[in-house]
Protein backbone atom coordinates (compact mmCIF):
# COMPACT_ATOMS: atom_id res chain seq x y z
CA UNK A 1 0.00 0.00 0.00
CA UNK A 2 1.24 3.46 -0.84
CA UNK A 3 1.64 5.43 2.39
CA UNK A 4 1.98 8.68 0.47
CA UNK A 5 -0.89 11.12 0.26
CA UNK A 6 -2.27 11.78 -3.21
CA UNK A 7 -4.49 14.47 -4.70
CA UNK A 8 -7.70 14.19 -6.69
CA UNK A 9 -7.67 17.86 -7.65
CA UNK A 10 -5.29 18.66 -10.52
CA UNK A 11 -5.73 22.42 -11.05
CA UNK A 12 -4.54 25.03 -8.57
CA UNK A 13 -3.83 28.74 -8.39
CA UNK A 14 -0.38 28.00 -7.04
CA UNK A 15 1.71 24.82 -6.80
CA UNK A 16 4.73 24.75 -4.48
CA UNK A 17 7.35 22.11 -5.32
CA UNK A 18 9.41 20.77 -2.41
CA UNK A 19 8.20 20.01 1.11
CA UNK A 20 11.13 21.15 3.25
CA UNK A 21 10.97 24.11 5.63
CA UNK A 22 10.95 26.62 2.76
CA UNK A 23 8.13 24.91 0.84
CA UNK A 24 6.00 24.19 3.92
CA UNK A 25 6.39 27.78 5.18
CA UNK A 26 5.49 29.14 1.74
CA UNK A 27 2.44 26.87 1.42
CA UNK A 28 1.30 27.93 4.90
CA UNK A 29 1.60 31.63 4.06
CA UNK A 30 -0.18 31.18 0.72
CA UNK A 31 -2.99 29.18 2.34
CA UNK A 32 -3.67 31.63 5.17
CA UNK A 33 -3.80 34.42 2.58
CA UNK A 34 -6.57 32.52 0.79
CA UNK A 35 -4.76 31.00 -2.20
CA UNK A 36 -5.91 27.71 -3.70
CA UNK A 37 -2.50 26.08 -3.19
CA UNK A 38 -0.96 22.62 -3.44
CA UNK A 39 2.40 21.39 -2.20
CA UNK A 40 4.05 18.50 -4.07
CA UNK A 41 6.88 16.60 -2.38
CA UNK A 42 8.92 13.81 -3.95
CA UNK A 43 9.51 11.83 -0.71
CA UNK A 44 7.87 12.58 2.65
CA UNK A 45 7.75 16.09 4.12
CA UNK A 46 10.87 17.29 5.93
CA UNK A 47 13.08 14.33 5.01
CA UNK A 48 15.90 16.21 3.24
CA UNK A 49 18.00 19.17 4.49
CA UNK A 50 15.18 20.64 6.60
CA UNK A 51 14.78 17.49 8.67
CA UNK A 52 18.49 16.68 8.92
CA UNK A 53 20.02 19.97 9.96
CA UNK A 54 21.49 20.88 13.32
CA UNK A 55 18.75 23.31 14.38
CA UNK A 56 21.05 26.31 14.78
CA UNK A 57 19.38 29.69 14.42
CA UNK A 58 22.15 31.75 12.88
CA UNK A 59 22.49 35.53 13.08
CA UNK A 60 26.17 36.24 12.50
CA UNK A 61 28.56 35.99 9.58
CA UNK A 62 30.19 32.57 9.58
CA UNK A 63 33.92 32.67 10.28
CA UNK A 64 35.16 30.29 7.59
CA UNK A 65 33.90 32.27 4.58
CA UNK A 66 34.78 35.53 6.35
CA UNK A 67 38.36 34.32 6.79
CA UNK A 68 38.66 32.75 3.33
CA UNK A 69 36.67 35.12 1.13
CA UNK A 70 37.45 38.40 2.90
CA UNK A 71 35.84 41.78 3.47
CA UNK A 72 34.44 42.32 -0.01
CA UNK A 73 32.53 39.05 0.25
CA UNK A 74 31.37 39.86 3.79
CA UNK A 75 30.01 43.25 2.71
CA UNK A 76 28.17 41.67 -0.21
CA UNK A 77 26.72 39.12 2.20
CA UNK A 78 25.19 41.76 4.51
CA UNK A 79 21.77 41.61 2.77
CA UNK A 80 21.78 37.86 3.36
CA UNK A 81 22.64 38.40 7.03
CA UNK A 82 19.92 41.01 7.34
CA UNK A 83 17.48 38.44 5.94
CA UNK A 84 18.49 36.00 8.70
CA UNK A 85 18.14 38.68 11.39
CA UNK A 86 14.60 39.51 10.20
CA UNK A 87 13.73 35.83 10.11
CA UNK A 88 15.03 35.44 13.68
CA UNK A 89 12.45 38.06 14.70
CA UNK A 90 9.73 35.82 13.29
CA UNK A 91 11.07 32.77 15.15
CA UNK A 92 10.31 34.50 18.47
CA UNK A 93 6.54 34.06 18.05
CA UNK A 94 6.51 31.11 15.68
CA UNK A 95 5.62 28.44 18.27
CA UNK A 96 2.54 30.41 19.26
CA UNK A 97 1.62 31.15 15.66
CA UNK A 98 1.88 27.50 14.61
CA UNK A 99 0.44 26.24 17.89
CA UNK A 100 3.40 23.85 18.28
CA UNK A 101 6.37 23.90 20.63
CA UNK A 102 9.23 24.36 18.16
CA UNK A 103 11.73 24.39 21.06
CA UNK A 104 12.96 27.84 20.10
CA UNK A 105 15.50 28.94 22.66
CA UNK A 106 19.09 29.63 23.62
CA UNK A 107 20.81 32.67 25.03
CA UNK A 108 22.68 33.73 21.92
CA UNK A 109 25.69 32.53 19.98
CA UNK A 110 29.35 32.51 20.99
CA UNK A 111 32.03 32.31 18.31
CA UNK A 112 35.08 31.52 20.44
CA UNK A 113 38.69 32.23 19.47
CA UNK A 114 41.96 30.94 20.87
CA UNK A 115 44.35 33.32 19.10
CA UNK A 116 44.80 37.08 19.25
CA UNK A 117 44.68 37.27 15.45
CA UNK A 118 41.29 35.52 15.29
CA UNK A 119 39.98 37.84 18.02
CA UNK A 120 41.11 40.81 15.94
CA UNK A 121 39.30 39.36 12.92
CA UNK A 122 36.18 38.86 15.06
CA UNK A 123 36.33 42.51 16.05
CA UNK A 124 36.21 43.54 12.39
CA UNK A 125 33.38 41.08 11.73
CA UNK A 126 31.37 42.39 14.69
CA UNK A 127 31.70 45.99 13.42
CA UNK A 128 30.34 44.94 10.06
CA UNK A 129 27.39 43.13 11.66
CA UNK A 130 26.66 46.20 13.81
CA UNK A 131 26.40 48.29 10.61
CA UNK A 132 23.15 46.50 9.72
CA UNK A 133 21.83 46.51 13.28
CA UNK A 134 22.89 43.04 14.45
CA UNK A 135 23.90 43.71 18.05
CA UNK A 136 26.85 41.34 18.24
CA UNK A 137 29.85 42.35 20.34
CA UNK A 138 33.30 41.15 21.26
CA UNK A 139 33.66 39.70 24.76
CA UNK A 140 36.88 39.07 26.66
CA UNK A 141 38.06 35.94 28.41
CA UNK A 142 36.59 36.98 31.75
CA UNK A 143 33.10 37.54 30.34
CA UNK A 144 33.33 34.35 28.30
CA UNK A 145 34.06 32.39 31.51
CA UNK A 146 31.11 33.99 33.25
CA UNK A 147 28.73 33.32 30.35
CA UNK A 148 29.95 29.83 29.45
CA UNK A 149 32.15 28.32 32.18
CA UNK A 150 32.28 24.98 30.31
CA UNK A 151 34.32 26.52 27.45
CA UNK A 152 38.04 25.68 27.53
CA UNK A 153 40.20 28.08 29.54
CA UNK A 154 42.45 28.28 26.48
CA UNK A 155 39.89 30.42 24.66
CA UNK A 156 40.75 34.12 24.76
CA UNK A 157 37.35 35.58 24.02
CA UNK A 158 34.43 35.43 21.60
CA UNK A 159 32.01 37.24 19.37
CA UNK A 160 28.69 37.18 21.19
CA UNK A 161 25.56 37.43 19.04
CA UNK A 162 22.47 37.73 21.25
CA UNK A 163 19.89 37.02 18.52
CA UNK A 164 21.17 33.50 17.82
CA UNK A 165 19.73 30.30 19.25
CA UNK A 166 18.24 26.97 18.30
CA UNK A 167 14.98 25.27 17.36
CA UNK A 168 13.87 21.73 16.63
CA UNK A 169 14.05 20.97 12.88
CA UNK A 170 12.05 17.76 13.27
CA UNK A 171 8.87 19.63 14.20
CA UNK A 172 9.16 22.95 12.33
CA UNK A 173 8.30 22.10 8.70
CA UNK A 174 5.61 19.58 9.80
CA UNK A 175 4.01 22.31 11.95
CA UNK A 176 3.90 24.69 8.97
CA UNK A 177 2.38 21.88 6.87
CA UNK A 178 -0.24 20.99 9.49
CA UNK A 179 -1.41 24.59 9.79
CA UNK A 180 -1.34 24.96 5.98
CA UNK A 181 -3.65 21.94 5.62
CA UNK A 182 -6.03 23.41 8.18
CA UNK A 183 -6.08 26.62 6.14
CA UNK A 184 -7.10 24.64 3.06
CA UNK A 185 -3.82 23.73 1.35
CA UNK A 186 -3.59 20.41 -0.50
CA UNK A 187 -0.39 18.54 0.31
CA UNK A 188 0.77 15.46 -1.59
CA UNK A 189 3.84 13.38 -0.86
CA UNK A 190 5.50 10.79 -3.07
CA UNK A 191 4.97 13.13 -6.03
CA UNK A 192 8.08 13.95 -8.04
CA UNK A 193 7.86 16.77 -10.54
CA UNK A 194 9.89 15.80 -13.61
CA UNK A 195 9.31 18.76 -15.87
CA UNK A 196 7.52 22.11 -15.94
CA UNK A 197 6.25 23.68 -19.14
CA UNK A 198 3.74 26.33 -20.22
CA UNK A 199 0.54 25.17 -21.95
CA UNK A 200 -2.41 27.45 -22.79
CA UNK A 201 -1.09 30.14 -20.46
CA UNK A 202 -0.81 27.77 -17.47
CA UNK A 203 2.07 25.80 -16.02
CA UNK A 204 1.91 22.08 -16.68
CA UNK A 205 3.78 19.92 -14.18
CA UNK A 206 4.60 16.39 -15.30
CA UNK A 207 4.89 14.04 -12.33
CA UNK A 208 5.04 10.33 -11.55
CA UNK A 209 1.30 10.44 -10.77
CA UNK A 210 0.21 12.40 -13.84
CA UNK A 211 -0.02 16.06 -14.76
CA UNK A 212 -0.93 19.03 -12.58
CA UNK A 213 -1.75 22.55 -13.73
CA UNK A 214 -1.34 25.92 -12.03
CA UNK A 215 -1.39 29.64 -12.75
CA UNK A 216 1.83 30.02 -10.74
CA UNK A 217 4.55 27.72 -9.46
CA UNK A 218 7.02 28.14 -6.60
CA UNK A 219 10.23 26.13 -6.68
CA UNK A 220 11.47 25.38 -3.18
CA UNK A 221 13.14 22.12 -4.17
CA UNK A 222 16.64 23.05 -2.88
CA UNK A 223 18.91 20.25 -4.19
CA UNK A 224 16.29 19.54 -6.88
CA UNK A 225 16.22 23.15 -8.05
CA UNK A 226 18.82 23.11 -10.83
CA UNK A 227 16.97 20.32 -12.68
CA UNK A 228 13.55 21.98 -12.35
CA UNK A 229 14.82 25.45 -13.22
CA UNK A 230 16.50 24.01 -16.30
CA UNK A 231 13.14 22.88 -17.66
CA UNK A 232 12.17 26.58 -17.44
CA UNK A 233 15.34 27.75 -19.15
CA UNK A 234 17.45 28.81 -16.18
CA UNK A 235 20.84 27.56 -15.04
CA UNK A 236 21.28 27.82 -11.25
CA UNK A 237 24.79 27.46 -9.77
CA UNK A 238 23.77 25.50 -6.69
CA UNK A 239 26.45 23.33 -5.13
CA UNK A 240 25.75 20.32 -2.94
CA UNK A 241 28.03 18.92 -0.25
CA UNK A 242 26.92 16.11 2.06
CA UNK A 243 27.79 16.99 5.65
CA UNK A 244 27.50 15.24 9.01
CA UNK A 245 25.84 16.02 12.33
CA UNK A 246 26.24 13.96 15.52
CA UNK A 247 24.05 13.70 18.57
CA UNK A 248 25.00 12.48 22.04
CA UNK A 249 23.14 10.78 24.84
CA UNK A 250 21.05 13.09 27.02
CA UNK A 251 22.96 14.85 29.77
CA UNK A 252 22.09 17.45 32.37
CA UNK A 253 21.53 20.89 30.91
CA UNK A 254 24.72 22.98 30.87
CA UNK A 255 25.02 24.60 27.40
CA UNK A 256 22.86 27.67 26.90
CA UNK A 257 24.47 29.04 23.76
CA UNK A 258 25.11 28.14 20.18
CA UNK A 259 28.89 27.65 20.14
CA UNK A 260 31.24 28.08 17.16
CA UNK A 261 35.03 28.00 16.94
CA UNK A 262 37.14 30.22 14.69
CA UNK A 263 40.03 27.78 14.16
CA UNK A 264 38.05 24.81 12.82
CA UNK A 265 34.50 23.94 11.82
CA UNK A 266 32.15 23.57 14.77
CA UNK A 267 28.60 24.17 15.84
CA UNK A 268 27.75 22.88 19.27
CA UNK A 269 24.56 23.23 21.28
CA UNK A 270 22.28 21.36 23.65
CA UNK A 271 18.78 20.41 22.59
CA UNK A 272 15.86 20.64 25.03
CA UNK A 273 16.06 16.83 25.39
CA UNK A 274 19.57 17.23 26.90
CA UNK A 275 21.38 15.77 23.87
CA UNK A 276 24.36 17.70 22.55
CA UNK A 277 24.31 18.40 18.82
CA UNK A 278 27.77 18.52 17.26
CA UNK A 279 28.21 19.67 13.68
CA UNK A 280 29.62 22.58 11.74
CA UNK A 281 29.80 21.30 8.18
CA UNK A 282 32.27 18.41 8.32
CA UNK A 283 31.91 16.55 5.00
CA UNK A 284 30.58 13.03 4.53
CA UNK A 285 32.06 10.98 1.65
CA UNK A 286 30.62 9.28 -1.43
CA UNK A 287 30.88 5.50 -1.73
CA UNK A 288 31.46 3.65 -5.03
CA UNK A 289 27.75 3.70 -5.87
CA UNK A 290 27.66 7.48 -5.46
CA UNK A 291 25.78 7.41 -2.16
CA UNK A 292 26.82 9.79 0.64
CA UNK A 293 28.07 7.76 3.60
CA UNK A 294 29.75 8.40 6.95
CA UNK A 295 33.25 9.85 6.80
CA UNK A 296 34.99 8.53 9.90
CA UNK A 297 37.87 11.02 9.62
CA UNK A 298 35.36 13.88 9.61
CA UNK A 299 33.57 12.43 12.60
CA UNK A 300 36.82 12.11 14.54
CA UNK A 301 37.87 15.65 13.61
CA UNK A 302 34.46 17.07 14.53
CA UNK A 303 34.58 15.40 17.96
CA UNK A 304 38.21 16.45 18.50
CA UNK A 305 37.27 20.08 17.80
CA UNK A 306 34.26 19.86 20.13
CA UNK A 307 36.54 18.50 22.87
CA UNK A 308 39.07 21.26 22.29
CA UNK A 309 36.37 23.86 22.86
CA UNK A 310 34.45 22.02 25.58
CA UNK A 311 36.78 19.53 27.33
CA UNK A 312 34.19 18.42 29.90
CA UNK A 313 32.22 16.45 27.30
CA UNK A 314 34.93 13.79 27.02
CA UNK A 315 32.78 11.17 28.74
CA UNK A 316 29.52 11.95 26.92
CA UNK A 317 28.63 9.22 24.41
CA UNK A 318 27.83 10.00 20.79
CA UNK A 319 24.82 7.87 19.87
CA UNK A 320 24.22 8.74 16.22
CA UNK A 321 25.73 10.55 13.27
CA UNK A 322 23.69 11.36 10.17
CA UNK A 323 24.22 12.98 6.81
CA UNK A 324 22.35 15.70 5.00
CA UNK A 325 23.12 17.49 1.77
CA UNK A 326 24.07 21.10 2.33
CA UNK A 327 23.26 23.32 -0.61
CA UNK A 328 25.23 26.44 -1.41
CA UNK A 329 25.38 29.42 -3.74
CA UNK A 330 28.69 30.99 -4.87
CA UNK A 331 28.15 34.22 -2.85
CA UNK A 332 26.25 32.60 0.07
CA UNK A 333 23.27 34.88 -0.58
CA UNK A 334 19.86 33.35 -1.22
CA UNK A 335 18.18 33.03 -4.61
CA UNK A 336 14.71 34.58 -4.46
CA UNK A 337 12.61 35.85 -7.33
CA UNK A 338 10.56 35.34 -10.43
CA UNK A 339 12.21 33.50 -13.30
CA UNK A 340 13.02 36.05 -16.00
CA UNK A 341 12.01 33.79 -18.89
CA UNK A 342 9.02 32.22 -17.16
CA UNK A 343 6.81 34.86 -15.51
CA UNK A 344 4.65 33.26 -12.83
CA UNK A 345 7.41 30.84 -11.78
CA UNK A 346 9.33 31.72 -8.60
CA UNK A 347 12.43 30.31 -6.91
CA UNK A 348 13.19 30.44 -3.18
CA UNK A 349 16.37 28.98 -1.74
CA UNK A 350 18.52 30.10 1.19
CA UNK A 351 21.94 28.37 1.22
CA UNK A 352 23.79 26.89 4.22
CA UNK A 353 21.53 28.50 6.84
CA UNK A 354 18.13 27.95 5.27
CA UNK A 355 16.49 26.52 8.38
CA UNK A 356 16.94 29.90 10.08
CA UNK A 357 15.68 31.71 6.98
CA UNK A 358 12.59 29.57 6.34
CA UNK A 359 9.93 31.58 8.26
CA UNK A 360 10.79 34.79 6.41
CA UNK A 361 11.33 33.03 3.08
CA UNK A 362 7.79 31.65 3.31
CA UNK A 363 6.36 35.13 3.91
CA UNK A 364 8.43 36.77 1.18
CA UNK A 365 7.61 34.15 -1.45
CA UNK A 366 3.89 34.30 -0.70
CA UNK A 367 3.89 38.11 -1.02
CA UNK A 368 5.75 37.88 -4.31
CA UNK A 369 3.39 35.29 -5.74
CA UNK A 370 0.15 36.93 -4.61
CA UNK A 371 0.96 40.65 -4.78
CA UNK A 372 4.25 41.00 -6.70
CA UNK A 373 5.60 42.84 -3.66
CA UNK A 374 8.21 42.18 -1.01
CA UNK A 375 8.93 43.88 2.31
CA UNK A 376 12.58 42.91 1.76
CA UNK A 377 14.72 44.37 -1.02
CA UNK A 378 15.23 41.34 -3.23
CA UNK A 379 17.72 42.88 -5.69
CA UNK A 380 20.77 41.29 -4.01
CA UNK A 381 19.08 37.92 -4.31
CA UNK A 382 18.14 38.16 -8.00
CA UNK A 383 18.48 35.04 -10.09
CA UNK A 384 20.18 37.02 -12.82
CA UNK A 385 23.23 37.95 -10.69
CA UNK A 386 25.27 34.86 -11.58
Ligand X SMILES: Cc1cc2nc3c(=O)[nH]c(=O)nc-3n(C[C@H](O)[C@H](O)[C@H](O)COP(=O)(O)OP(=O)(O)OC[C@H]3O[C@@H](n4cnc5c(N)ncnc54)[C@H](O)[C@@H]3O)c2cc1C
Which residues are at the interface with ligand X (CB under 6 A)?
17-23, 40-43, 47-50, 52-56, 58, 192-193, 220-224, 228, 243, 245, 279, 324-326, 349-350, 352-356
Decide whether 324 or 337 has the Cβ nearer to ligand X: 324
Least spacing, CB of residue 132 vs ligand X, in Å: 18
Least spacing, CB of residue 197 vs ligand X, in Å: 14
> Can you list the positions of beta strands (E) in the chain?
11-17, 37-41, 56-57, 109-113, 137-140, 157-161, 165-166, 186-189, 193-199, 202-207, 210-219, 239-250, 258-261, 267-270, 275-279, 285-286, 292-293, 318-328, 335-338, 345-349
Decide whether 151 or 238 has the Cβ nearer to ligand X: 238
Decide whether 145 or 322 has the Cβ nearer to ligand X: 322
For residue 181, give every residue at least 6 positions away whose Cβ sits within 8 Å of its Cβ, in sequence order, or none.
31, 187
Distance (Å, rounded) from C-alpha 343 to C-alpha 138? 46
Decide whether 50 or 262 has the Cβ nearer to ligand X: 50
Least spacing, CB of residue 149 vs ligand X, in Å: 24
Decide whether 40 or 177 has the Cβ nearer to ligand X: 40
Least spacing, CB of residue 97 vs ligand X, in Å: 18
Decide whether 157 or 326 has the Cβ nearer to ligand X: 326
Least spacing, CB of residue 39 vs ligand X, in Å: 9
Q: What is the rounded (10 degree) CA torsion for 196, 222, 342, 41?
A: 40
Q: How many residues belong to the chain?
A: 386
Least spacing, CB of residue 140 vs ligand X, in Å: 27
Q: Give the other-Cβ count within 10 Å of 91's Cβ.
A: 22
What are the residue ranges of helices labelled H in 283-334? Answer: 296-309
Amino acid sequence: MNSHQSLEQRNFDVIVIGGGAAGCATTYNLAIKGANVALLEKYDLNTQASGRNAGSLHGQIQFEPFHELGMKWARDFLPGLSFLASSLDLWKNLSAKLDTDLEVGGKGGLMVAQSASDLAALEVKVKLENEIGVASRLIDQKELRELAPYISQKMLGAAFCPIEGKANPLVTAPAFAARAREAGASIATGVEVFEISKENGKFKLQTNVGDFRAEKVVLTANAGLPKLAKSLGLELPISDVPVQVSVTEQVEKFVNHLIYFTTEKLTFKQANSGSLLIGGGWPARYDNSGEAVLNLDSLQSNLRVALTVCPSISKVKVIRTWIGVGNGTPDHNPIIGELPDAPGAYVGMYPYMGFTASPLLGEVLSDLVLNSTSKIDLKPFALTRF
